[in-house]
Structure 1
Amino acid sequence: MSCYKHILTGLDLSEESPQVIEKAAALAKANNAKLSLVHIVEPLTFAYGGDIPVDLSEIQDQLQSQATEQLKILAAPYNIATEDRHIIVGQPVAEIHDLAKELAADLIVVGSHGRKGLALLLGSTANGVLHGALTDVLAVRVKD
C-alpha cells in the first residue's frame, strides 16, 4: 500500500529546483504516485512611471512563456506530462494550496533554503505552504 497517491511539487525555477524535483520524483516512484509540478509567476500588474501608467502585460506573458519552457526542461527527465505541469499567476502560497486541493494532492513538496535571521522573520514560501496546508508538506533542504 502506498502512502501517497498524488505529489504536488512547487518549484521556483532556481538553480536548486533540480534538487527538489529529484526528491519528489523519488518519492513518487517509491509510492507509485502521480507527480505534478507547479511554478507560480507573481503578477506584475501595472507600474507607474511618473504620470503615465505602463502596461506590463507583455512582460508578464514573456515571464509565463519562459517559466513554461523551464518547467518543460525540468520535467523531461521524469516524463511528467504537459497536463501535470502548471504555471499559475498569483501569490505562491495561496496558489499552491488551491492547486493541491484542486488536484487532491496528498503531499506538497517545496524547496527550503533554511534561512536564518531577518530572512526567517520575513517568512518564506516553504514556511507559508507548511502552515496553511491541509495535507502533508515536505520541505527539501536545498544546497546553494
Structure 2
Amino acid sequence: MKLYQKILLAVDLHPKCDNAAVKKALAIAEETGASLHLIHVIEHIPAYSLGQAYPSIIDLEEEILKEATKELGKLAHKHHIPADKQIIVMGSPKAAIISKAEELKIDLIILGSHGRHGIALLLGSTASSVLSHAPCDVLAVRIKE
C-alpha cells in the first residue's frame, strides 16, 4: 500500500515563498509515486476596498485570474505537472484548499508556513486553519523570510 497517492500543493505563486514547499512536494511525490496537484487560491477583492471603482473589481479579478493561470502554468510546466492537475479558484484560501482536498480525495496537503507571530498568530493563518480542518495529513513547510 502506498503511503500517499494524491498530494495537493497549495502555492501562492511568489517564487521566494514556495520554493521549499515545491521541492518538498516534488520529493514526496517522487518517493511515494503519488500524483501531485497544484492549487492557487485568489481571494476576492472586497468592494469597499476600491471605493467608487466597484465596476472595475470584476475586471481586476479577471486580470488577476489570467495572470495567476499563466504563472501556475509556468510552475507546472517547469516540474512536468499536467494541466488537469492545476487548480485555480477564487475565495477563501482555507476553505478552498480543504474543499478541493475533500473533492479530490487528497491524502496529503503541503503548504508553506511563515511561522506567524504577534497579532497574525492570534488571528490565525491559512496553514493553521488547514491543519485544524483538513480531511488528511498536512505538511506545513517553513518558509524562510
Per the normalisation by structure 2, the TM-score is: 0.92
Preserved CA contact (<8 Å) 1:43 1:90: yes
- Say if 1:24 and 1:53 are closer, same or farther in 2 by CA, change over 3 A: closer
Where do 5+ consecutive residues of structure 2 fail to align? Answer: none
The amino acid across from 1:66 in the alignment is: E
Name the residue aligned to 2:61. Answer: 60
Change in Cα spacing, 1:88 to 1:53, as seen in structure 2 (3 Å) is closer
- Of 104-113 and 117-126, more deviation after overlay is shown by 117-126
Structure 1 CA distance, aligned partners of 2:108 and 2:137? Answer: 5
Question: 2:129 is matched by which residue type in structure 1?
Answer: G
* 1:30-53 Cα shifts (integer Å, max 9, x gaps): 000000000000112534635x74
- Please give the root-mean-square deviation of Cα atoms over the aligned residues, in Å: 1.5
Corresponding residue pairs, total: 143
1:42-87, CA deviations, whole angstroms, 9 ceiling, x for partnerless residues?
112534635x743410100010111111111222222001110100
Q: Which runs of 4+ in 1 moved over 6 A?
A: none
Identity %: 40
Q: Residues 89-104 of structure 1 correspond to what in structure 2 (within 5 A)?
A: 89-104=90-105
Would you tell me which structure has more strand in proportion to its own residues?
1
Quick check: 1:5 aligned with 2:25? no
Q: Give the TM-score of the pair, scaled to structure 1.
A: 0.92
Per the alignment, in what secondary structure is the counterpart of residue 44 of structure 1?
Answer: coil
2:27 counterpart of 1:26:
yes
CA–CA separation in structure 2 for the residues paired with 1:32 and 1:126: 25
**1:49 pairs with 51, 55, 62, which one?**
51
Unpaired stretches in structure 1, ≥5 consecutive residues: none
